[in-house]
Structure 1
């Protein structure tokens, strides 16, 4: 089954719910110019087809004591399929790792870790990250300040088909 192409109303729904996932159906309907029933049907279809995969709260990291950010470059011993698969599987189990990206270039992965402070980071590095399978080398980059944090995706209007 192939997904139905998105039209302007679908794109407007995606933009609205990424700005405010708690928006009422009435407000969403008003914003995009559809009545509640067709708006709700479109929203449910976008969820069912995997365009919307969840709704999340955004935290004040300082208040929850997770405002210390470290980026870690990781080099593996080897980049065979087995090594990559083992590393990927293991890294997903480390809760302190907020994101993990396989990279092209001078290193293999870039990790983002959030924690309380340098002492907490040192513990995460020695007790969790250094035990990841196939790890050869890490280089840590503590962030001095978070200048911008955005969880929304720019839905480029040039990519949106005009109807």
Structure 2
């Protein structure tokens, strides 16, 4: 990866806010002409600073009213069991993020569902059935204060 200068950081900040911004507008925002701006954007993509582009969807419009953060614990630490767990988690759409963490839990999951009834069923039928899971501790979000808004570029 190459070193980021002020303009690279400005490009990253701008596309992090609006990934659909036309190159002409991006160039104007960062103080470059279109061609050098497009070249830098391509370099940032090929160097791996930009992993992709996607839309932020509305949970409310999609009827996903419950966010749960879940600590998952294993009773035994086994690499093949962890690998199976992680593989299965990647395939479950309702699990929107999964982190292997330190502390009292082995994994922290973020789950979105329609309502508490669906969450109860999901916990019973899906979470507790995952390989290696011996304990599940749920924390329900009462109110979202800040949604992922991008990475710090300082």
Above 0.5 in TM-score? yes
Instruction: Measure, in 2, the Cα distance between the counterparts of 1:61 and 1:38.
Output: 38
CA distance in structure 2 between the partners assigned to 1:88 and 1:59 by the alignment: 25
Work out the CA distance in 2 between the residues paired with 1:127 and 1:152.
Answer: 33
Contact 2:72 2:107 in 1 (8 A): yes
- 1:94, 1:128 within 8 Å by CA — same for their partners in 2? no
Corresponding position: 1:56 with 2:54:
yes
> Which residue of the other structure, out of 118, 130, 133, is the alignment partner of 1:132?
130
Rounded to whole Å, the distance in 1 between the matches of 2:55 and 2:28 is 23
How far the C-alpha of 1:25 sits from its partner, in A, is: 0.7
Superposed, which structure 2 residues align to 1:1-163 within 5 Å? 3-156=1-154
Tell me the CA shift for residue 87 of structure 1. Answer: 1.5
Q: What root-mean-square deviation, in Å, do the aligned CA atoms of Structure 1 and Structure 2 show?
A: 1.2
Structure 1 Cα separation of the partners of residues 92 and 148 of structure 2:
23
CA shift at 1:12, angstroms?
A: 0.9
The Cα shift of 1:60 comes to 2.2
**Alpha-carbon deviation of 1:80?**
2.5
Of stretches 82-91 and 28-37 in structure 1, the one that deviates more from structure 2 is: 82-91
Provide structure 1 residue ranges, at least 5 long, that are not aligned to the other structure. 157-163
Q: CA deviation at 1:70?
A: 0.8
TM-score, normalised to structure 2's length?
Answer: 0.94
2:68–2:139 CA contact under 8 A, matched in 1? yes
Cα displacement (A) at 1:113: 0.3
Q: CA deviation at 1:57?
A: 1.3
Q: Encode CA deviations 1:55-94: one digit per residue, 9 max, x unaligned.
A: 1112221111113111111001212222222221121111
**How many residues are paired up?**
154
Q: CA deviation at 1:123?
A: 2.1
Q: Is the CA contact (8 Å cut-off) linking 1:97 and 1:112 kept in structure 2?
A: yes
